[in-house]
Amino acid sequence: AELSDLEFVQFHPTALDNPRRPMPLISEAVRGEGAVLVDDHGDRFLADTPGAELAARDVVARAIADQLGAGHRVYLDARQCLGQRFAKRFPAIDAVCKQAGIDPAAEPIPVRPAAHYHMGGVAVDAEGRSSVSGLWACGEVARTGLHGANRLASNSLAELVATAAWVAGCIAGTSAGWQWPRMPAMVAVRPDPSSIRQVVSNALGIVRKGNALREAVADLLPIAVGDTAAADPALVALLMTIAALRREESRGSHYRSDFPGRNPKALPSSLTLCRAFESAVSLNWLRSERSY
Ligand SMILES: Cc1cc2nc3c(=O)[nH]c(=O)nc-3n(C[C@H](O)[C@H](O)[C@H](O)COP(=O)(O)OP(=O)(O)OC[C@H]3O[C@@H](n4cnc5c(N)ncnc54)[C@H](O)[C@@H]3O)c2cc1C
């Protein structure tokens, strides 16, 4: 199937910075109540940014990543705005923090960005049809275009409820027609992304760069064509890396430090598995030629 906008991954700016996986989120609502982001000296580093702590997720996530990259820790400080009211206002977040040994009423919460939502996916039309006859997609796996380059918080559930209804309406008027022959059931290896996590973090994080993306292609390609439990995750990461390499601009959640400007025209990107493999193989070939 045709895939689109795979380079656009939203990072939630404020996940609890502790070893628990997946990282629990400290919702924007806490910042909405007035909590501020501070560095390890207690200084607000977003005070002069338009929107400050409530700027778009990519802006806040990048500012936090800059601090972390400079060796600082980052905290969400809700002591002044909420203090003892924190537990009543945010009981679930309070419980998660306390499990990690942090009392948000009395101390700042350590935070860092976490990969959160994929705007890209299977390219579909307004009724959820993919490029493959008989295949519809909706929800996070689909790329409807509704989220552009950066989803607004809380819009994904609204999107998937709306688009699921469109898909259902479209399928209801379609005959089953030709049916795929029954295939023997294949038990997939349970995917395990742990061995590629570092490669993906280095190349496909909040700030991307051509060289790191090309290195990631070289690392991911042999794993993606292998038969280990990392093969499927590596394949997805490879597709995203090729898409990120091709978008030579910064837009929404996709930030290239080597292309910080935004192209005047917003264009969706498009990729298939075959085209991604062709690109990956030729990139690797060019790399090996240059190293002689
Ligand atoms: C911590 C967190 C908080 C969020 N908060 C919000 C929010 O407040 N508001 C909002 O709008 N959005 C929020 N989101 C995003 C939103 O939850 C997701 O985008 C949404 O749940 C995606 O729904 P989905 O049905 O498309 O996919 P999923 O919920 O991922 O469902 C896909 C299902 O397919 C199953 N599956 C996968 N592979 C296979 C296979 N090979 N065979 C059979 N089944 C398979 C999976 O087990 C899963 O059950 C949040 C996301 C996270 C992670």
176-210 as b/e: b if 16+ CB within 10 A: eeeeeeeeeeeeeeeeeeeebeebbeebbbbbbbe
**What string of pLDDT tens digits covers the 292 residues of the chain?**
999 999 999 999 999 999 988 999 999 999 999 999 999 999 999 999 999 999 999 999 999 999 999 999 999 999 999 999 999 999 999 999 999 999 999 999 999 999 999 999 999 999 999 999 889 999 999 999 999 999 988 899 999 999 999 999 999 978 777 677 777 766 667 899 999 999 999 999 999 999 999 999 999 999 999 999 999 999 999 999 999 999 999 999 999 999 999 999 999 999 999 999 999 999 987 777 655 4
* C-alpha–C-alpha distance, residues 94 and 27, integer Å: 11
Q: Which of 25, 28, 124, 156 to mutate to test the pocket of ligand 1 (most atoms within 8 A of CB)?
A: 156
Q: Which helix (H) or strand (E) holds 62?
A: helix 57-69
Burial (CB count <10 Å: 0-12, 13-18, 19+), residue 127: middle
108, 79 contact by CB (below 8 A): yes
Based on the fold, state whether residues 228 and 167 are members of the same structural domain.
no
Q: Which residue out of 20, 31, 44, 57 is catalytically annotated?
A: 57
Q: How many domains does the chain have?
A: 3
Q: What is the pLDDT of residue 284?
A: 83
Asked if residue 106 and residue 123 are part of one domain, the reply reads: no
Q: Note whether 166 and 109 are same-domain residues.
A: no
> Which residue, judged by its Cα, is nearest atom 37 of ligand 1?
141
Check if the beta carbon of residue 134 is closer than 8 Å to that of residue 177: yes
The finding on whether 140 has its CB within 6 A of some atom of ligand 1 is: yes
Mutate to test the pocket of ligand 1, among 21, 26, 157, 163 (most ligand atoms within 8 A of CB): 157
261 domain residue, yes or no: yes
Residue 108's contacts (CB-CB under 8 Å, 6 or more residues apart) are: 38, 75, 76, 77, 78, 79
Q: How far apart are CA 111 and CA 34, in angstroms?
A: 16
Contact 168, 178 (CB under 8 A): no
In a domain, 186, yes or no: no
Residues 138 and 156 in one domain: yes
Tell me, what CATH number does 208's domain have? 1.20.58.100
- Residue-level pLDDT at 173: 78
| 178 within some domain | no
Residue 157 CB less than 6 A away from ligand 1: yes
Let me know whether 61 and 22 are in one domain.
yes
**What whole-number distance in Å separates Cα of residue 267 and Cα of residue 288?**
32
Domain residues for the domain of 124 are 119-171
Which of 93, 115, 137 terminates a domain? The answer is 115
**How far does residue 140's CA lie from ligand 1's centre (Å)?**
7
Q: How many whole angstroms from 290 Cα to the centroid of ligand 1? A: 42
Measured in degrees and rounded to the nearest 5, phi and psi for residue 111 equal: -135, 160
Say if residue 97 is in the same domain as residue 125: no
pLDDT at position 183 is 72
Position 290 scores a pLDDT of 59
Give the bridge partners for 254, in sequence order.
251
Residue 109 and residue 29 share a domain: yes
* ipTM of the shown complex: 0.96
22 C-alpha to center of ligand 1: Å?
13
Distance of CA 100 to the CA centre of its chain: 25
Active site residue 143: no
Cβ of residue 154 lying under 6 Å from some atom of ligand 1: yes
- Is residue 38 in a domain? yes
